[in-house]
Amino acid sequence: MDRQEILKRVDHTLLAQTATWQEIKEICDDAVTYNTASVCIPPSYVRQAAEYLGERMPVCTVIGFPNGYNTTGVKCFETADAVAGGAKEIDMVVNLGWVKEGRYDLVKDEIQQIKKACDGRLLKVIIETCLLTEAEKKELCRVVTESDAEYIKTSTGFSTGGATFEDVELMRKYTGADKMVKAAGGIKDFADAERFVELGADRLGTSRLVKIMKE
């Protein structure tokens, strides 16, 4: 697969706690140069990045990140604030405590409330696969399929592991055909990225591919 075709699927990401505006600006510039799908950044930089980029590149941000245990009201406020600041895509973390309790009704209701707060913007649901059993992964595939979110996403990249080939394969198998899959966390190189795409990933959350291009 051509590298440019892969880069078109990349959410070029910088979510480090210590990220500065100068670093955010640099990844915005790189995202434009290498024609990625979006730039994924902390909520506090959304407005500044959206004003800087204009229509050159969609801004994506994260909600309830990275632990997912904020209240639904807080997540909805975060989402509405990000949308008001210019975010075009929202990546939310599910409440994993509810998952462990089997409260998939609450998980789905929260997704629906956040989707409403997105006001038409894309919503990706991060399920943090490294913390789940196979049965929990399958149930979350069902929940996302039944929801109005557009994407199911593997990982935050801030827990015990990132995307695996097996998880992407499972998510593609058990999530509805009208939903998309995002692999994130630990994508090492273009060979890795191509394999994830072959297995069904529509988006890739990573910063490494652009760094490889720059080198």
| CATH number of the domain encompassing residue 92 | 3.20.20.70
Q: Look up the domain containing 68 and give its range.
A: 3-214
Q: Is 19 helix (H, G, I), strand (E, B) or coil?
A: coil
pLDDT at 62: 98
The secondary structure element, H or E, covering residue 181 is strand 180-184
Check residue 160 and report its DSSP letter: S
From the CA atom positions of the chain, what is the Rg in Å?
Answer: 16
Which residues, including other chains, have CB under 8 Å from residue 127's CB and lie 6 or more apart?
94, 99, 137, 140, 144, 152, 153, 154
Whether residue 182 lies in the annotated active site: yes
pTM tops 0.85, yes or no: yes
Cβ atoms of residues 180 and 150 within 8 Å: yes
pLDDT at 9: 98
pLDDT at 119: 98
d(CA 170, CA 145): 13
How many domains does one find in the chain?
1
Q: Pick the catalytic residue: 115, 124, 137, 153? A: 153
Check residue 209 and report its DSSP letter: H
The secondary structure element, H or E, covering residue 11 is strand 10-13
d(CA 18, CA 14): 10
CB atoms within 10 A of CB 191: 9
Q: Pick the catalytic residue: 11, 30, 91, 192? A: 91
Spell out the per-residue pLDDT of the chain, length 215, in tens. Answer: 999 999 999 999 999 999 999 999 999 999 999 999 999 999 999 999 999 999 999 999 999 999 999 999 999 999 999 999 999 999 999 999 999 999 999 999 999 999 999 999 999 999 999 999 999 999 999 999 999 999 999 999 999 999 999 999 999 999 999 999 999 998 999 999 999 999 999 999 999 999 999 99
Whether residue 192 lies in the annotated active site: no
Q: Pick the catalytic residue: 75, 115, 137, 182? A: 182
